[in-house]
Amino acid sequence: LVMIDDGEMLASRTNAGNKYEGHTMLPVVRQFVEEYDLHDFIVVADSGLMTNDNVNELEQLGYKYIIGARIKAESEMVKSWILEQPKADCRMVEYIKEGGRRLLVGYTDDRAKKDAYNRDKGIRRLEKAYRTGKLTKENFNKRGYNKFLDLKGDATVTINYDKLNEDARWDGLKGYLTNTDIPTEAVYVAYHNLWNVERAFRIAKSNLDINHDLYASYIRKSQAHPYLYGVRGLDGRASKL
């Protein structure tokens, strides 16, 4: 979905369920920009849609952007800098990268509590599985909280509490990458307006039963869902396009 900051839908595209989402956004953006001859705009997207190739292409096209940053995937130097910064509620720090890129890192107490709660909940499930002997080699992968597992020998799986302690150092931190020169607060507000898109998907999945039809063979029917959502409106009631 392409939306403006007040939640109004501008464009949409449906893709096959097995298509990598990192390849789905830029074609929509390019088509929309060309169709309406846009010049002054900023692309705002979460980190799941943005690969390094996508970021490079945005810059090659001359587009301004604000995207979620994968701060744990930064260089060791940048990660050390981030973790050295004092943590204070609602504080944002800025790191200037090459090519005019700005890495903004914010911290909130609420996010720190949520991160710690979710990790503790996931680890309790792992510990229960470990005690009951259900933690096996098949669990050893990087998905979810399984990333805190170690494989010893050919079959022994254990929980790595050193990794847990290291992960806790990142509690409360959220990164944003932008090539704009707008104020830090404006970057934060623009990014967090993405909740409109997330809300749109939730409504489409619940009110319009979009999950069922996306797996059906009727492609045109599933493509119509976003427009039905646009007619129905964010509050679930009928509204004008």
Which ranges of the chain does DSSP label H, i.e. alpha helix? 25-36, 52-60, 76-84, 109-131, 161-168, 184-192, 195-207, 210-214, 219-232
Two tokens at 211?
Answer: 């999950």
Between CA 168 and CA 54 the distance in angstroms is 30
Contact in structure between 104 and 94 (CB atoms under 8 Å): yes
Contact in structure between 69 and 94 (CB atoms under 8 Å): no
Q: Which amino acid is located at 168 in the chain?
A: A
User: Mean pLDDT, to the nearest integer, of 24-38?
Assistant: 86
Q: What is the pLDDT of residue 139?
A: 62
Contact in structure between 177 and 171 (CB atoms under 8 Å): no
Each residue's pLDDT tens digit, 34-82: 888 988 899 998 887 778 888 999 999 999 999 999 999 999 999 999 9
Q: How far apart are the first and last CA of the chain?
A: 15
Global confidence as pTM: 0.76
Q: Give Cα 107 to chain centroid, integer Å.
A: 17
Each residue's pLDDT tens digit, 117-169: 999 998 888 888 877 877 666 665 666 777 887 777 655 677 888 999 999 99
DSSP code, position 91: E
Between CA 12 and CA 46 the distance in angstroms is 16
Three-state secondary structure along 138-166? HHCCCCHHHHHEEEECCCEEEECHHHHHH
Average per-residue pLDDT for the chain: 80
